[in-house]
Amino acid sequence: MTTTALSRPDRLLRKDGALSGTLPGPLGDAIDDRVAEALDDYLAEGRLDGRIRPRRSPGGLAALVAAGVAAVLLPWCLILAATLPSTYQADHWKLTWIGLDCGTAVAAGLTAYLLRKQDARAALTAVATGTLLLADAWFDVSTSAAGADHALSLAEAVLLEVPLAICAFVVAGRALRPQT
């Protein structure tokens, strides 16, 4: 059986047009046949030249959704600024802070695990970790009482949480770089 590599070493096209290295059994064969037919169509129409291109539609849709979210949230922030009270008694205060810190710990631990396994998904968990650290710093500083509590929260944010968040974003950036 002669194989020709397409774009990834784990996906090989056999001479008969089916993909090898895919799902075993009848389901795998049916999928292989459908993929082979689609490849034949693309080859016949000259639309397949071996290069992988990003899909345009989902990125365009995602950009449109993100712009819509921003367009709704910016005026909403102005409404909140005008209508929210200066102080508020919060129920479940402990649960809120424990949940935020546990989420940060889980994201950091998962990042460490994925980095150890050299899994590219570590970039996702690193971004989540950095974001949670920044949120923690923001809420610590903005909800702390004046005086020593505020000074301690500010010091913790400046000396620990923000630098750790920056490190997490650097890790994510490095994990997303193409390997050469």
Q: How far apart are CA 141 and CA 151, in angstroms?
A: 8
| Count of beta carbons in the 10 Å neighbourhood of residue 172 | 19
Dist. CA 13–CA 36, nearest whole Å: 8
pTM of the model: 0.64
At residue 72, φ and ψ (nearest 5 deg) are -80, -40
Average pLDDT, rounded, for the chain: 81
**What is the distance between the alpha carbons of residues 145 and 127, in angstroms, rounded to a whole number?**
29
Tell me the three state secondary structure of residue 129: helix
- pLDDT-derived band of residue 148, with 50, 70 and 90 as boundaries? very high
Q: 149 is written with which tokens?
A: 């509590």
* Between 69 and 23, residue with greater pLDDT: 69
- CA atoms of 180 and 170, how far apart (whole Å): 18
User: Both tokens of residue 159?
Assistant: 């000396």
* 86 confidence band (pLDDT: 50, 70, 90): confident
Distance from C-alpha of 14 to C-alpha of 21, rounded to nearest angstrom: 10
Q: Which amino acid is at 38?
A: A
Which one of 7-16, 44-53, 57-66, 106-115 scores highest in mean pLDDT?
A: 106-115
